[in-house]
Amino acid sequence: MRFLKQLLVILGVTFAGEALHAFLPLPVPASIYGLALMFVCLCLKIFPLRAVEETGNFLVDWMPALFIPATVGVMAAWDVLQPVLVQVALIMCLSLAAVMAVSGRVTQWALRRRGKHKKEDNRHA
């Protein structure tokens, strides 16, 4: 029952993201709206992390299986993809490197910021 409740919370936030996508005329995917809403809800403690943690971890564990349809789609479009394979591979490698660099920098910044806040909290205690 606990997993069902957590899944309903996740689906509710996902549905809210879909609704925002339908009503706002911005070129933002519904999944990004959903992620932003989930982030805001967790930060503002609208619901605690434990309200979605176990089901979220389960979904993340199964995420690789969700890429199978995309892989099959690439295989089905192989005749279209083959002439531009080098360009696509180059774009994929460059975008992967950019995402990794930005993610690493943001994580380092967040960890440094978190460390400063902990030190300040310890001084005031």
pLDDT, average across residues 88-92: 93
DSSP string for residues in 20-70? HHHHS-SS--HHHHHHHHHHHHHHTTSS-GGGTHHHHHHHHHTHHHHTHHH
Q: Which tokens in the block code for residue 5?
A: 């409740």
Per-residue pLDDT, 68: 85
pLDDT, average across residues 56-80: 87
Of 81-85, 89-93, 112-116, the poorest mean pLDDT is in 112-116
Q: What percent of the chain has pLDDT over 90?
A: 68
The span from the CA of 108 to the CA of 94, in Å, is 21
Distance of CA 20 to the CA centre of its chain: 17
**Structural domain boundaries in the chain:** 1-66, 68-125
Q: How far apart are the first and last CA of the chain?
A: 41
